[in-house]
């Protein structure tokens, strides 16, 4: 698996692993990673999309698929016992903020009751060695701190945020009360191949590029988020499962160095691809948190860090979406080298690499604290 030291994660080889929501965007990449480690994977699903990463990568032919809604406790418990499950990764959820606003009951039932059903099944079936619960930075709600720490309170105040805050607390209660080996993950905005929710900003940007349409922004463009590549997310899930004896009962933030406003994200994407991305600000977003960024020093102590960035991944992400037949890239400019945090250039870029790209910068450029864009 790309960017994964599989030799260090032997615990999952030959194990029976349940991934709830394994046919979804992040779930499909996790399933792919688990298969690469030699695990026997079972996944729940409600429906499959023929354009999904799960189907286009042929993962449906390599796992056991069980049609099920995680709100059904009997179904979840039967699945855990029937397949003699060793590890559970709980990703199934209603994950769209806008849908949560329009349909709060379904969101709360899926995200809270679904989590309870998974945890209770694991409690009743002692063979389960670990449960990894997928949460979100939204669990923190609206906060004023520069970076969210795991010690901050969980203060969601709208349906989706509340569903994540509650699920986090319930997971901790199962550890504290019953000693269940459960660990919670909190990620920023995850992107990558396979996200078919085009209301999210990066899939929306990609679609606007391929269809040559103006990108419509629901926000004012100033919302700040962490953007984390999906393969780095998978690495985090697997690490926490591997180290469950030291991580159970804990929550871990997973962030990135791509902490950007929406407008900065559009700019970096366009410059990296060498194309213009026209946009229109609608400013119609509801219940959006203005600033969310995660401090991830805690999980770094376990050996995790983000290995990818927007600049290193956006080309291959665009290539994946282009295979869906949405359109093709037009109006490409010259190739552009994007140097993030150029004040670190001298330390981080080898002289040979700088010579090959023929980049020449003066000391003022290196210390002005701004990104540097150089045509090649």
Instruction: Please indicate, yes or no, whether residues 344 and 316 belong to a single structural domain of this protein.
Output: no
Q: Over the stretch 59-77, which tens digit does the pLDDT of each residue have?
A: 999 999 999 999 999 999 9
Instruction: Please indicate, yes or no, whether residues 256 and 355 belong to a single structural domain of this protein.
Output: no
Instruction: Please indicate, yes or no, whether residues 343 and 222 belong to a single structural domain of this protein.
Output: no
Instruction: Please indicate, yes or no, whether residues 276 and 354 belong to a single structural domain of this protein.
Output: no
Domain assignment of residue 330, yes or no:
no
For 75-95, what is the mean pLDDT? 97
For residue 368, give its domain range. Answer: 336-375
Which of 2-11, 87-96, 301-310, 352-361 shows the lowest mean pLDDT across its residues? Answer: 352-361
Domain assignment of residue 192, yes or no:
yes
Domain assignment of residue 327, yes or no:
no
Residue 98 has a pLDDT of 82
- Number of domains forming the structure of the chain: 2
The answer on pLDDT for 49 being more than 60 is yes
For 216-228, what is the mean pLDDT? 94
Instruction: Please indicate, yes or no, whether residues 117 and 13 belong to a single structural domain of this protein.
Output: yes
For the chain, what is the mean pLDDT?
A: 87
Q: Over the stretch 305-347, which tens digit does the pLDDT of each residue have?
A: 999 999 999 999 999 999 998 766 665 544 444 444 444 433 4
Instruction: Please indicate, yes or no, whether residues 215 and 291 belong to a single structural domain of this protein.
Output: yes
Instruction: Please indicate, yes or no, whether residues 155 and 301 belong to a single structural domain of this protein.
Output: yes
* Catalytic (active-site) positions: 160
* CATH number of the domain enclosing 152: 3.40.50.720
Residue 96 has a pLDDT of 86
Domain assignment of residue 328, yes or no:
no
Domain assignment of residue 331, yes or no:
no
Instruction: Please indicate, yes or no, whether residues 313 and 353 belong to a single structural domain of this protein.
Output: no
Q: Over the stretch 233-284, which tens digit does the pLDDT of each residue have?
A: 999 999 999 999 999 999 999 999 999 999 999 999 999 999 999 999 999 8
Domain assignment of residue 329, yes or no:
no
Instruction: Please indicate, yes or no, whether residues 69 and 40 belong to a single structural domain of this protein.
Output: yes
Domain assignment of residue 301, yes or no:
yes
Residue 331 has a pLDDT of 57
Residue 152 has a pLDDT of 94
Instruction: Please indicate, yes or no, whether residues 266 and 340 belong to a single structural domain of this protein.
Output: no
Domain assignment of residue 1, yes or no:
no
**Burial, 253: exposed, middle or buried (Cβ in 10 Å; 0-12, 13-18, 19+)?**
buried
Instruction: Please indicate, yes or no, whether residues 249 and 350 belong to a single structural domain of this protein.
Output: no
**CA 272 distance to own-chain centroid:** 21
Instruction: Please indicate, yes or no, whether residues 47 and 110 belong to a single structural domain of this protein.
Output: yes
The answer on pLDDT for 89 being more than 70 is yes
């Amino acid at each position: 698996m790309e960017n994964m030291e599989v030799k260090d994660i032997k615990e999952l080889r030959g194990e029976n692993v349940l991934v709830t929501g394994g046919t979804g965007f992040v779930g499909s990449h996790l399933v792919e990673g688990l298969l690469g480690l030699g695990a026997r994977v079972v996944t729940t699903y409600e429906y499959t999309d023929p354009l999904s990463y799960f189907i286009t990568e042929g993962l449906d032919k390599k796992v056991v698929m069980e049609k099920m809604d995680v709100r059904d406790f009997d179904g979840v418990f039967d699945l855990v016992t029937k397949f003699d499950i060793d590890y559970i990764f709980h990703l199934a959820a209603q994950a769209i903020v806008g849908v949560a606003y329009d349909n709060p009951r379904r969101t709360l039932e899926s995200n809270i009751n679904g989590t309870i059903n998974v945890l209770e099944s694991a409690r009743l079936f002692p063979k389960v060695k670990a449960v990894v619960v997928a949460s979100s930075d939204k669990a923190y709600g609206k906060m004023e701190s520069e970076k969210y720490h795991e010690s901050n309170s969980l203060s969601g105040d709208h349906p989706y945020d509340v569903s994540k805050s509650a699920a986090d607390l319930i997971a901790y209660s199962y550890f504290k009360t019953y000693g269940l080996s459960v660990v919670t993950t909190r990620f920023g905005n995850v992107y990558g191949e396979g996200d078919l929710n085009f209301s999210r900003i990066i899939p929306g940007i990609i679609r606007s590029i391929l269809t040559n349409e103006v990108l419509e922004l629901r926000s004012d463009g100033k919302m700040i988020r962490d953007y984390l590549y999906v393969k780095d997310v998978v690495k985090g899930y697997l690490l926490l499962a591997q180290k469950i004896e030291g991580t159970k009962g804990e929550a871990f933030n997973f962030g990135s160095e791509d902490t950007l406003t929406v407008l900065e994200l559009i700019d970096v994407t366009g410059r990296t691809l060498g194309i213009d991305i026209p946009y229109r600000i609608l400013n119609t977003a509801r219940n959006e948190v203005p600033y969310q960024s995660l401090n991830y020093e805690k999980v770094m102590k376990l050996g995790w860090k983000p290995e990818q960035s927007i600049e290193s991944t956006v080309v291959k992400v665009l290539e994946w979406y282009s295979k869906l037949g949405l359109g093709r890239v037009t109006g490409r400019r010259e190739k552009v080298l994007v140097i993030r945090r150029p004040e670190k250039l001298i330390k981080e870029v080898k002289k040979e690499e700088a010579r090959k790209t023929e980049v020449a910068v003066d000391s003022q450029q290196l210390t002005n604290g701004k990104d540097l864009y150089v045509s090649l």
